[in-house]
Each structure stands twice: as C-alpha cells, then as structure tokens.
Amino acid sequence: MARKKTIDPEKADEITIETLAKLAKGIHQSITRGRYPELISPVRSLQNVKEFRKRVGYLEIGEKIKTRTLSVNTVKTFAQTLKMMSLSKDLVETNDFATKRDAYYQSKNWGPAAFKDQPESDTVMDDIEAMVSRYGLGREHLRYIPDEHGGSVAGALKVHDKDLETGEPEVIDCTRFGSGAYSIPSWVEHLDFETDADFVLCIETAGMFQRLQSHKFWRKYNCILVSLGGVPSRACRRFVRRLSEQAKIPVYAFVDCDPYGVANIYRSLKVGSGNAAHVNHLFCVPQARFLGVTPKDIVDYKLPTHPLKDRDIKRANDALSNDPFFQAHPKWQNEIQRLLDMGVRAEQQALARWGLNYVIDEYLPAKLKKTGSFLP
Amino acid sequence: MDQQGRLGLIETGEDGSAPPAADANDSPPVPVETIPPELGERANDSQPPVAVETANPPPKRRASARSMGGKHRAISISEFFTKNRHLLGFDNPAKALLTTVREAVDNALDACEEAGILPNITVEIDPVTGYDDRYTVLVRDNGPGIIKAQIGKVFGKLLYGSKFHRLKQSRGQQGIGISAAGMYGQITTGRPVTVISRTGKRRPTHRMVLQIDTRRNEPKYLSEEQLEEWDWEHGTEIILTIAATFKGGRHSVDEYMRQTAMSNPHAHIVYRNPRGVDHVYERQVHELPKEPEEIQPHPHGIELGMLMRMLRETKRRNLTDFLKEEFCRVSQRNAEEIITGTAKRVPDRQRNQMLRRNPKAMERHEVEALFKVLGETKLHSPPTNCLSPIGHEDIRTGLFALFDPGEHDPSEFFVTGETRKPAVYRGNPFQVEVGLVYGKGLEGDNAAEVYRFANRVPLQYQAGACAITKAVQSLNWRQYNLTQPRGGFPVAPMVVSVHISSAWVPYTSESKEAIAHYPEILSELRLALQVCARRLQRHIRRQRKQRDAEKRKQYLEKYLDPISEALQEILGFNDQEKARVSVQLTELIDPQEEEAEPEDEAEVDEMVGRPIRHVEVVPEDQATTDDGSRETTSDSIVSPEGAEEVAQATLGLELPEGAED
C-alpha cells in the first residue's frame, strides 16, 4: 500500500472520495459474501511510534493495527462510522466543511445512530481519521475541520485563497496588516503561497510576535513571521509545513528555553506528536531548526532565569528516556541535560533585560548569522 | 387394635400388673405395661402406686423413712401436664388455640386416611358469648367414627392412642395431643369436652360430654345420649371450649389451615374463623395418598429400654425367633450372627444355649450385650413402604395455596418439585420433598418464604431450631444465581415448601414444632434443595438469556439500517441492493444461535456423585393454571391438568414398592 504519500492538493478531493468508496466497498463485499466486515486503523499511542528516522523527518506510526469487527457490541459505532464517512463524502462533493460540533449536530438526523454527546462523535471522528491516515489522508481532507485555529502570520507572503461561495480567487498580502496579522484559517489545504522570503520565523509567544511585527522585523530580514501561540494547532503546523514546502525556505523556531518550549512546542512543530502519530506525516515541519533560546544563550546573554519546576524536570526526563526524536539526537540530549544541570529556565522575553528591542537589534541578527549552528 | 398398645399411666414392676384404674367398667382388659421410653426411668424408680388419700399426714418432725415412703407416689401424666403444659404447645393463649385445632385436625385426617375415606373436614372457631378470651373449637370429620367404649379413652385420657407403639407414618405420634387439648380447656375454662361419633349408617350416633380426672388420668362422663339425627353417615365431631386468643400472622390458625390444605390436596376442608370468615379448600386430588405400611422396628433404631420391653413382652420362645420376628430386616443368618456375637460378650453362656434362650429370662448383662451387637451388625435398611410422601407433583400444585399470585398469570411462575428417595436415620426410614415456586409476582426484595411440613403437618413455630431452616440457610444459593445474606435465607421472589415424611419424625420437643438436626436428614434436605435450586438456576439463566436476546435484537435492528443506508449513500447502489445488504447483515450478526440446553441430561449430584433420577413429565415452567372462578371468600387450590396421572406415574417411578434390597 502506498502509505502516506504526499497528497497532491489538486487531487486531494478526488483521492478522498476514492478512499471513502474503497473502504465502503470493502465492507459491502464482506457483507454480501457473508463475512464479518472490519474497520482497520493503526493503534494510536506512543507505544506504536517507530524509532525516529532523520530521512523521514517525523515521528512515524508503527505497524500495530486495531481491527474492529462488526458484532453486537460494535454495531452502533460501526453504523456511526459509516454515517460519518457518508457525511464526509457529501461535504467534499458540496465543497463544504464541518467542525466536530457541526458533525455532532448533523448526526441528529441519523435516527438511532445519532451521537449522544460530543465525546462520542469525537471518538468516531478520530477513528475515521486513523483509518484514512493509512491512505495518506487527514481529517481536513474529509472536510472535518478543527474548531481551534490559532496562529497568526505577517511578513513577505501573499496567500492565495478562494471565495467558497463564488469560487473567485482571493489574494491576501501579509505585509499589509498594519500592526495586526493574518489569521491562519482552520482549513489550509486549498491555500497557495507566493513569496520570496528567505525563511519562516515561528515565535512561541504572541507578545514577541507583536514586537517583531510592529517593528517590521520581516522587512529588514526578508522573512515571514508566524505566531505559534503555545503548542501550534494542527492548522498552524499544516500551514507552516505547506508554506515551507512550496516556497522551499527554512523554518526557524524561536521559543522559551524550558522543557515545554523544547519538548512540546518545538518537537510538535518539527516531527509531530506521539499520540496522533497517524497524522504526523501531514502535521510536521521537518525543515524546522531551533534558533533559540538555547541553554547556552542563558549563559552567553546572562539572561534572568527561574528555577525549573517539578513538572519541567519530569518533562525533561521524559523527553530523554521516551521520546524517539530526542533519542535520535545526541545534541539535543546534551542540551536538555545541560538545562537540567543548570536547574533553571528562561523565557524569550527575558532578553528585554538588555532593552526592549535588544532582541531585534542584537540577538536575532547575531543568531541569523550562524544558522548552521542551530540545533536540529 | 389391641396389641397396638394403649394407656400411659405409670405402672411398676415386671409382672405386668394392671394400673390402678379404678373401675374398669368401660375399659377393656388392659394389657401389659407400656412405658414411653422417656418415662421409663422414672417409672422404674417409683414405688407402687399408693392410694392418694392416705398419703399425707402432716409431719411435725423430720420425716421418717416410713413417712417418706408414703410420700412417694406415681405421678399421673395428666397431673404432669397441668404443670408442664408448655411442653405440649399450650404455653400461651394464641398458641393453645393453634395446638388445639391442630391436634383435632391431625387426628381427623389420620382417622380418615387409615379407614380409606377421602377426608371432609369442618373446622369452626367461635367466640364464647360474654368472654373475649374464650373460644369453642369444633372439628368434624367423616372418618370411621369411634366405638362408644373408646370415646372416653381417646378424648379423656392422656397417652392413650393407636399410634405410639407402631412404626407407621401418621400425623399424630404419641396419643397425647387431643386429650391434652381437652385437659387444657378443662383447666382454663372448666368446660367439658363434647364428642359426637357415629360408626356407620345403621349405627347410632353417640353424644358424650366428658371430663378428665386429672389425678387418675381417666375419663369422667358427665352425660351421654343417642342423637336421633346426625348429618353424616359416619364420623366424629369434637367440641372444646378453651381460653385462647385469635391472632393473624405466621403462627395463626388461618395459616395452619392454609398450609394444611396445601399439604393435603386430597382433603376437602371448610374452615370458619372467629371473625366469621369462611374458607373452603376444595379437594384437588381425588385419590387417597398411598397407605403407609406399618413396619417393625429396625435393630439400628431402638434403644435399650425398648429392647428390654420387647424381650419381656414377646410371645416368641427363643431368642432366634424373637430377633427374626420382632424386627424388620433380620434374617435367620443375621439372627445367628447377632447371637454368636452376643454369646462372645457373655462368658457364662454358650452360643447354642444363647440361640435357644428364652427372651423373657434374659438377664440384664445379656440384654446389654445383645443391644451392643444389634447396633454393630450390618443389616439392610428398613423397608420404606411405611412412607407416604405428598409426591412432587402434588407438592407443586399445593404451592399455589401458599401464596396469592395476585394479578399474575400462574403460568408466569417457575414451579418445580423434587421427591427424594427414602433414606434412613437411626434405623427410621424418612423421605424428603421440596417444592419451589419463583416468579416476579412474588416479593423480590424479601427473603424467600420457607414452609415446613412433617408428615403433612405444617410446622409453624421454632423455625430457627428446625433442621429444614438450617438446610435452607446452609445451602449456598449464590451458586444458583440468587442473592443470599451470609447464613440467611436467599433473597428472591420465591416460596419453598419442604416436607419430611417418616414413621417416626424426630421432633425436638413434644409440641412438634421443629425437626432435629440428624446429619442424614440434613443431607437429604440439602440434596433435595439443590436439585430444585439447580432447576431454578436453569430457569433464571434461560430467562436472562431470553431477555438478552430480545434486547440484542432490538438493538441490532436499530443500527443495522443506518449501516446499509450509509453504504448506499457512499456507493450509490439501488434500494434493492440496500434491502439485500440489510437482510445479509441481520443474518450475519444474529444467526439463530439458540443452543437448546439439554433438558434431561443426567444430573450428577454434587455431594454424593450419583445420578439423580429426574422425572419431569410436564415442562417446569408450564405452571398450573386456575380456571379463574376464584371467589372472594374461598381460597382454592389450583390444579394442573393431568397432574394426577403425572403424580401417579411419578410416584410409581420414584417409589418402588417395598424394599430396595
């Protein structure tokens, strides 16, 4: 099976419909041949994540699969899964989309198969996503979009969108938002990008993003600024991924120097998460590199620090012992160990110690001169 | 009748002197002494009876041996009773009423059955005008009647009866009951007992009013007359006036009548309680129970005192014949073996001498040796034709008299019954039967109701002391899918009735309220309960399975349609194909997997590991139905169609005639 091949955005809808039909056909055939139909999906847990391969660039889902066979106990979920697939087909065909909540309310038309509450519909949706992930598709391809969006963009970028109603192309110039920014939509599969920027700078905090945008940092350094807003949302990750892939430009991450910034925000952005490994191939940015703040910066820039909290230490140790990404990168292991040894953390805004715009005038320019030394 | 023994006045000596019954006008010549074993000791220790009047010059100094000797005298059982009436079930006014009715009804039923008459019993309890604590109790039967000469003795003399000195299943055992009731009435109200009896169509009807001379244990006639007319061709009526209280509840007379009707489906019973409520329990079975045979004592069941008495009384000339003829299950070979064994323990007698020994001449140490050997010799179990169980079909039928199905169709209940094969405790054959009804019409949050019967007599008091209660409690009902508090009755919508029949039921006391805990009896009780519980468990499982299957089907139907619908939406096939998918889905997911449980597989008993014969002709859950003509004032027992034939067939199968050698 051609697993996880990159989906051509032009053909995404076609492939989605085909995949849905293929799955439905398999079930139909089982039934007419008197066999118990089965739904197959990969096991979604950190235990089913493969060893990290740099060549692949993201955390891959393992081989373990879960088979749900039609029986008295599964018949309800089975019915709901198929109805959700049917709804998805409908959404693609009408070029529409539905949030989880929308889907939940849609199910109220399904008679006995209606969902009782949203957790029930969420579970079924996750199952379907896992099923189609084997064919390289994600939930967004099925037109089930997340409720959360998140992520703002500013800088040397024009986004090509489409008017859903009229089909008219719309071009959004991300240089023209004043002190505001372009907000990444929940659903980014249909977007195209036009840019001559040299790199993408992903920033953890909204405050830092605002400073760089207000002072038009991107103009001087010809780049695109993205605000991650903590752990980046699926849409945000997918946006950065598609942008960097289309424009073939590097992505630099600028986050706090603490286990959360490294092990959660940066790791998720770059290689995806352990629990949703079945969609990591879509939601990873393998090109991303770690600009800072590094433990060494704390020393070099004499940054004000806070002591590591218990949960920071736990998180750091977890990363060292369980995370396939860090296990594959000795440099990262050293850095994390160093952080643990120092017993402190520093936020990116700590640079303000040397003046509010020190980061723009000194820190970032210095860093950008040595991109080769960025952590992987 | 003669040799069945009678009379219970204390006597003395070995010479068989007649008791000092004053004038024996109306009493036939009294045969040799017969002492109930438990009174034997006392009797032997006491002096010959002395005239009471001369016995008490008030001594002013310490008594001399002579004067003390003068104070020793026989205690008449009647006097003993007046002081110890609680032993016989007259401890309080409510219980006294029940005991009185019970003794009279038991006698009536026994008499009818022994004479081969289908019993018609009338019981009426009326308050005595002017008193709120006195009642007259009238019990009338259509039995054989009592000849005039016996009437006084039967009703006016304690320990006079036909049942004590024989081994045969009957309700009464000691000949103490009805006359005790008469005496109780006499003590508490001063009223005499009235008896009306007629022995046949062409015979006169006698009406006698009598009292008991409590000192001498003799009847005293106040009046006697011949009635011109009496409704019944034969039968007996007794009217007593006693101090009593009428109460409802588990210990009530109402309850006794109801349970009696249940355990005697062959009787027609009309009962009016003091509140004027009439109950008619119609005859459900039109054949008498199999008549129990009278048997001889089994050597393993006797006690030393009884052996001594038998040796004294026997007409046999030598010990060998004595053993062969006076006991059951002793063959020539057995007898010789016993005697050989006895001779070994008696150094001064040769075996041959012993074989020809005159039983009457045996000395004490010889008797003791014989007694010991009797207990040790291996013998066949006693014959079991002395038993007459209710039969598990009838016990099932009768169960419906024990509770009111209310608005529920009796067929909704699960009913089962089990009659065990006869077994033996201490040389006495006995048989256990259990009936069980279970259903949602009964109260489910309460402990199961347990009804106890011995020789068809309901046991209403002292449940806690009874072997039946213990057996029910000690069974692990949880194993059979019921809930059960530790050491208690199972909590279930269930009624259990347990019947023990025996030629000699081992009651814990003379008031016949509880059965003693003999291990053999407990074991049989548990086995019978287990059989019923196992069937109940199957029923509960089947019910659950049905419920589950029903739920499952509804559930499936709910969701199979959306599946085929969704497939149609995605694949775009036509409605015909959709229908086909629906059908195939149904077949796929819900194949008719009714793995019919084998109903009549041989059950292997858990405790003894031998197969139980399990005769079940009518499907268990086809409970009995009632014709719907229930009257408000009458409780009727429902009868299953064909139950009689089934009962016959079953009885024949489960109770092979005679012994099981």
Q: Is A105 a catalytic residue?
A: yes
Lowest mean pLDDT among A10-14, B133-137, B468-472: A10-14
A94 touches chain B (CB under 8 A): no
Interface contact flag, B563 A24, Cβ < 8 Å: no
- Tens digit of pLDDT for each residue in A133-151? 888 888 888 998 887 767 8
Same-domain check for residues B465 and B490: yes
Instruction: Give the residue from chain A lying closest to B552, CA to CA.
Output: A72
Regarding beta strands A288-292 and A251-254, do their DSSP bridges make them parallel or antiparallel, or are they unpaired?
parallel
Residue B276 clears pLDDT 60, i.e. is over it: yes
Same-domain check for residues B240 and B107: yes
Domain contains B594? no
Residue B203 clears pLDDT 50, i.e. is over it: yes
B567 touches chain A (CB under 8 A): yes
Mutate to test the interface with A, among B545, B552, B559, B577 (most CBs of A within 10 A): B559
| Helix/strand/coil (H/E/C) assignment for every residue in B47-100 | CCCCCCHHHCCCCCCCCCHHHHHHHCCCCCHHHHHHHCHHHHCCCCHHHHHHHH
The DSSP secondary-structure symbol of B633 reads T
B593 touches chain A (CB under 8 A): no
Mean pLDDT across the stretch B567-575? 90
Mutate to test the interface with B, among A39, A72, A91 (most CBs of B within 10 A): A72
Which position has the higher pLDDT, B644 or B112?
B112
- Predicted pLDDT of residue A42: 87
Lowest mean pLDDT among A302-306, B254-258, B605-609, B642-646: B605-609
Regarding beta strands A152-155 and A223-227, do their DSSP bridges make them parallel or antiparallel, or are they unpaired?
antiparallel
Residue A196 clears pLDDT 70, i.e. is over it: yes
Mean pLDDT across the stretch B525-541? 93
Which position has the higher pLDDT, B173 or A58?
A58
Total number of domains constituting chain B: 5
Interface contact flag, A71 B580, Cβ < 8 Å: no
Same-domain check for residues B332 and B276: no
Q: How confident is the model at residue B301 (pLDDT cuts 50, 70, 90)?
A: confident
Residue B617 clears pLDDT 50, i.e. is over it: no
> What length does chain A have?
376
Mean pLDDT across the stretch A88-92? 93
Which position has the higher pLDDT, B399 or B29?
B399
With beta carbons under 8 A apart, name residues in chain A contacting B590: 72
Same-domain check for residues B111 and B243: yes
Mean pLDDT across the stretch B73-90? 73
Choose among B552, B570, B581: nearest Cβ to A20. B570
Side-chain half-sphere exposure of B434, counting CA atoms within 13 A: 29
A111 touches chain B (CB under 8 A): yes
The torsion angles phi and psi of A200, rounded to 5 degrees, stand at -110, 130
Mean pLDDT across the stretch B509-526? 88
With beta carbons under 8 A apart, name residues in chain A contacting B563: 75, 78-79, 82
- Predicted pLDDT of residue B4: 38
Which tokens belong to B408? 């529920």
- Predicted pLDDT of residue A111: 85
Domain A152-373 part of CATH 1.10.10.10: no
- Predicted pLDDT of residue A238: 92
B579 touches chain A (CB under 8 A): no
Lowest mean pLDDT among A134-138, A355-359, B530-534: A134-138
The DSSP secondary-structure symbol of A150 reads -
Residue A130 clears pLDDT 70, i.e. is over it: yes
A18 touches chain B (CB under 8 A): no
Mean pLDDT across the stretch A177-186? 91
Choose among A31, A83, A111: nearest Cβ to B588. A31
Class of domain A9-145: mainly alpha
Same-domain check for residues B169 and B119: yes
At B421, is the secondary structure helix, strand, or coil? coil
Residue B287 clears pLDDT 90, i.e. is over it: no
Same-domain check for residues B20 and B135: no
Which position has the higher pLDDT, B409 or B310?
B310
Q: How confident is the model at residue A332 (pLDDT cuts 50, 70, 90)?
A: very high
Residue B132 clears pLDDT 80, i.e. is over it: yes
- Tens digit of pLDDT for each residue in B28-78? 444 434 444 444 344 344 444 444 445 565 656 676 777 776 666 666 666
Mean pLDDT across the stretch B109-128? 93
- Predicted pLDDT of residue B591: 60
Lowest mean pLDDT among A176-185, B273-282, B472-481, B606-615: B606-615
Lowest mean pLDDT among A343-357, B292-306, B350-364, B613-627: B613-627
B562 touches chain A (CB under 8 A): yes
Choose among B580, B581, B589: nearest Cβ to A71. B589
| Sequence letter at residue A185 | P
Residue B329 clears pLDDT 70, i.e. is over it: yes
Closest CA to A78 of B444, B460, B564: B564
Domain A9-145 and domain A152-373 have a common topology: no
Interface contact flag, A83 B567, Cβ < 8 Å: no
Same-domain check for residues B405 and B419: yes
- Predicted pLDDT of residue A239: 94
Min distance A186 CA to chain B CA atoms (Å): 26
| Sequence letter at residue A277 | A
With beta carbons under 8 A apart, name residues in chain A contacting B591: none
Helix axes A310-322, A330-342, angle to 10 degrees: 160
Residue A219 clears pLDDT 60, i.e. is over it: yes
From B75, B92, B111, the end of a domain falls on B75
Q: How confident is the model at residue B568 (pLDDT cuts 50, 70, 90)?
A: very high
- Tens digit of pLDDT for each residue in B437-464? 888 766 667 888 899 999 889 998 888 8
Same-domain check for residues B13 and B88: no
With beta carbons under 8 A apart, name residues in chain B contacting A111: 561-562
Catalytic residue among A58, A104, A105, A358: A105
Residue that is written with structure tokens 């699960």 in the block: B414
ipTM > 0.85 (yes/no): no
Same-domain check for residues B372 and B411: no
With beta carbons under 8 A apart, name residues in chain B contacting A17: none
Residue A211 clears pLDDT 50, i.e. is over it: yes
Residue A34 CB neighbours (<10 A): 9
A:B CB pairs within 8 Å: 79
Residue A94 clears pLDDT 80, i.e. is over it: yes
Choose among A34, A75, A82: nearest Cβ to B556. A75
Q: Is the peptide bond before A293 cis (omega within 30 degrees of 0)?
A: yes
Same-domain check for residues B91 and B218: yes
A17 touches chain B (CB under 8 A): no
| Sequence letter at residue B526 | R
Which tokens belong to B579? 């229908």
Q: How confident is the model at residue B160 (pLDDT cuts 50, 70, 90)?
A: low
The percent of residues in chain B predicted with pLDDT above 70, rounded, is 73
First to last CA, chain B: 30
Residue A241 clears pLDDT 90, i.e. is over it: yes
From B22, B53, B75, the end of a domain falls on B75
Residue B25 clears pLDDT 60, i.e. is over it: no
The percent of residues in chain A predicted with pLDDT above 90, rounded, is 54
For chain B, give the mean pLDDT.
76
Instruction: Please report, for the domain that includes residue B333, its CATH number.
Output: 1.10.8
- What residue segments make up the domains of chain A, in order of their start? 9-145, 152-373
Domain contains B382? no
Interface contact flag, B559 A113, Cβ < 8 Å: yes
Same-domain check for residues B273 and B328: no
Helix axes A118-133, A75-93, angle to 10 degrees: 70
Min distance B553 CA to chain A CA atoms (Å): 9
B559 touches chain A (CB under 8 A): yes
Say if residues B265 and B283 touch (Cβ distance below 8 Å): yes
Which position has the higher pLDDT, A276 or A175?
A175
Interface contact flag, B570 A21, Cβ < 8 Å: yes
Say if residues A308 and A347 touch (Cβ distance below 8 Å): no
- Predicted pLDDT of residue B246: 92
Closest CA to B114 of B75, B163, B185: B163
For chain A, give the mean pLDDT.
89
Same-domain check for residues B120 and B247: yes
Domain that holds residue B314: 299-376
- Predicted pLDDT of residue B444: 65
Report CA-CA distances (Å) from B276 to B64, B233, B258, B315, B524: 61, 27, 16, 55, 42
Choose among A24, A70, A86: nearest Cβ to B589. A70
